[in-house]
């Protein structure tokens, strides 16, 4: 018999949904690019080996926006999947509404409290109970470059924003696209975030986007961030409207563009195309952010779905995600670093080694920052509003900076409504 959450009942929603029989698990996620699919296939295989059936519900696009919209419709009609990819503050939003099942049993058995850094595990709990299981730690503030293109142009990868502009000018003059950017609001907001980190510094960034301080959201540093952001547009390519992130990475892989600023899931695309870190492509911190680490943690949650307790398949899935072998396999191809603190980094490439060092350094110096563009800093309502403001500003040179700062403040503060 399917069990409905109080919210379904309040809304009068009692759709009959097929309860899973305990041996299969339907998983809603958005890992569909070449690198992403390769990584999640590892988990599908492991589930199969353990005798469970993975029913795939993949919804491509917009770094999860389309998947989350589909998830909302399904959950509100009383037919949620068994597991879904949700992260950051949104885990709390779903948990507080009573949708999510606890995986405390698995967490206790596998000693998650000892294996996962507290900065990460805080995101995974609702009222002290684990309701989500983490895969990895992605670093968002990276710049990816095609080594051959930089060589031909005779430039070094830029380490500061000033260097970025002088290098981009030379790349443009040589006939390449300096900065590959697909014009989807989340891609634009990723670029905005990385500029904000460099211009504002960690403290001011934190004040503005995490503490949601009204003055910091409209400060001179915010103005400067927007000015730099607008200036970068001339170095992006005109074919960018609507292009997804992995096709955008392909421009760098194929040597049509020199650079992309994107989280390290981009590395998964280089690897899937058979490219080698340090030889074919370079990974350097986004200009001006070498000391900072903008983190983005992928996680799955489990829906209360029919049974009164988590099913065997849901439990097995939770368990496998933190299995040491899976942590290695998955993160080697996904581009992220393992979320377990005890995984040997032997065999990981230079980008992953750098990422691990950067994480430890940033943790020790208070330079870890929850990613603004990847649902780690603000809730969904704010996120959607912010994407809209940033995209409008970037795409229309007539949009006023002061007005945009007021809109940014309103978008971020919407979280408190
Ligand atoms: C997720 C990554 C994913 C990327 C692009 C990010 O928000 O955290 O796992 O690869 O979106 O789809």
In this structure, the strands spanning 129-130 and 125-126 are antiparallel
Using 50, 70 and 90 to split pLDDT, how confident is the model at 362?
Answer: very high
Q: How confident is the model at residue 15 (pLDDT cuts 50, 70, 90)?
A: very low
Residue of the CA atom closest to atom 8 of ligand 1:
298
Provide the pairing of β-strand 257-261 with 177-179.
parallel
Partner residues linked to 277 by β-bridges: 281
Whether pLDDT at 31 is above 80: yes
Q: How far is the C-alpha of 43 from the C-alpha of 22, rounded, in Å?
A: 18
- Give yes or no for residue 374 CB within 6 A of ligand 1: yes
Task: List, for residues 162-179, the tens digit of each pLDDT value.
Answer: 999 999 999 999 999 999
Out of 11-15, 217-221, 261-265, 334-338, least confident range: 11-15
Cα of 400 vs centre of ligand 1, distance in Å, is 31
H helix or E strand, kind and range, residue 92: helix 89-96
Q: What is the pLDDT of residue 240?
A: 80
Say what the pLDDT of residue 309 is: 73
- For the CA of 32, the nearest atom of ligand 1: 12
Query: Does ligand 1 have an atom closer than 6 angstroms to the CB of 62?
Result: no
Cβ of 335 below 6 Å from ligand 1: no
> Could you tell me how many helices (H) and strands (E) the chain has, helices first?
19, 15
Indicate which atom in ligand 1 lies nearest the CA of residue 245.
Answer: 5
Ligand 1 centroid to residue 193 C-alpha, Å: 15
CA of 403 to the centre of ligand 1 (A): 30
pLDDT tops 50 at residue 17? no
Q: Is the CB of 63 under 6 A from ligand 1?
A: yes
CB atoms closer than 10 angstroms to residue 180: 31
Ligand 1 and 186: CB distance under 6 A:
no
pLDDT at 9 over 50: no
CA distance 390 to 386: 6
Regarding the beta carbon of 88 and ligand 1, being less than 6 Å apart is answered: no
Band of pLDDT at residue 213, cut at 50, 70 and 90: very high
Instruction: Record the tokens describing residue 223, joined without a space.
Output: 């103005």
Give the atom of ligand 1 at the shortest distance from the alpha carbon of 296.
8
The tally of CA atoms less than 13 A away on the side-chain side of residue 175 is 1
- HSE value, Cβ hemisphere, 13 Å, CA-based, for 22: 4
Residue 308 pLDDT class (50, 70, 90 cuts): low
Among residues 105, 83, 98, 128, the alpha carbon closest in space to that of 298 is found at: 83
Of all protein residues, whose CA lies closest to atom 2 belonging to ligand 1?
265
Q: Which domains does the chain have, with CATH numbers?
A: 24-137+296-364 (3.40.190.10), 139-295+367-416 (3.40.190.10)
The SS3 assignment for 28 reads strand
């Amino acid at each position: 018999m399917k069990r409905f959450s109080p919210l379904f009942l309040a809304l009068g929603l009692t759709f009959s949904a097929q309860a899973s029989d305990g041996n299969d698990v339907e998983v809603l996620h958005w890992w569909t690019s070449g690198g992403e699919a390769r990584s999640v296939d590892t988990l599908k295989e492991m589930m199969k080996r353990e005798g469970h059936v993975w029913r795939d519900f993949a919804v491509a696009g917009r770094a999860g926006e389309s998947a989350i919209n589909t998830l909302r419709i399904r959950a509100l009609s009383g037919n949620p999947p068994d597991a879904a990819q949700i992260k950051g503050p949104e885990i709390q939003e779903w948990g507080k509404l009573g949708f999510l099942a606890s995986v405390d049993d698995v967490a206790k058995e596998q000693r998650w409290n000892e294996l996962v850094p507290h900065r990460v595990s805080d995101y995974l709990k609702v009222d002290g109970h684990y309701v989500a299981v983490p895969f990895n730690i992605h670093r968002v503030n990276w710049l990816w470059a095609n080594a051959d293109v930089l060589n031909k142009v005779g430039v070094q990868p830029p380490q500061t924003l000033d260097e970025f502009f002088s290098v981009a000018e030379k790349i443009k003059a040589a006939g390449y696209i300096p900065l590959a950017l697909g014009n989807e609001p989340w891609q634009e907001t990723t670029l905005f975030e990385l500029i904000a980190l460099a211009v504002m510094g960690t403290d001011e960034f934190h004040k503005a986007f995490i503490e949601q301080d009204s003055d910091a959201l409209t400060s001179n540093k915010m103005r400067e961030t927007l000015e730099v952001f607008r200036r970068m547009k001339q170095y992006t390519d005109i074919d960018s409207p609507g292009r997804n992130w992995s096709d955008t990475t392909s421009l760098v892989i194929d040597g049509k563009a020199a650079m992309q600023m994107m989280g390290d899931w981009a590395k998964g695309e280089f690897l899937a195309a058979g490219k080698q870190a340090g030889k074919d492509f370079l990974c350097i911190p986004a200009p001006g952010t070498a000391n900072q680490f903008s983190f983005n943690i992928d996680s799955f949650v489990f829906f209360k779905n029919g049974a009164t307790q988590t099913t065997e398949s849901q439990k097995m899935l939770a368990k496998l995600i933190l299995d040491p072998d899976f942590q290695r396999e998955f993160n080697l191809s996904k581009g992220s670093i393992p979320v377990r603190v005890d995984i040997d980094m032997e065999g990981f490439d230079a980008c992953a080694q750098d990422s691990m060092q950067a994480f430890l350094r940033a943790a020790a110096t208070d330079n870890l920052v929850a990613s603004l563009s990847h649902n780690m800093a603000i809730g969904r309502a704010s996120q959607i509003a912010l994407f809209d403001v940033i995209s409008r500003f970037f795409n229309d040179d007539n949009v006023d900076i002061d007005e945009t700062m007021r809109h940014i403040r309103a978008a971020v503060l919407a979280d408190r409504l």
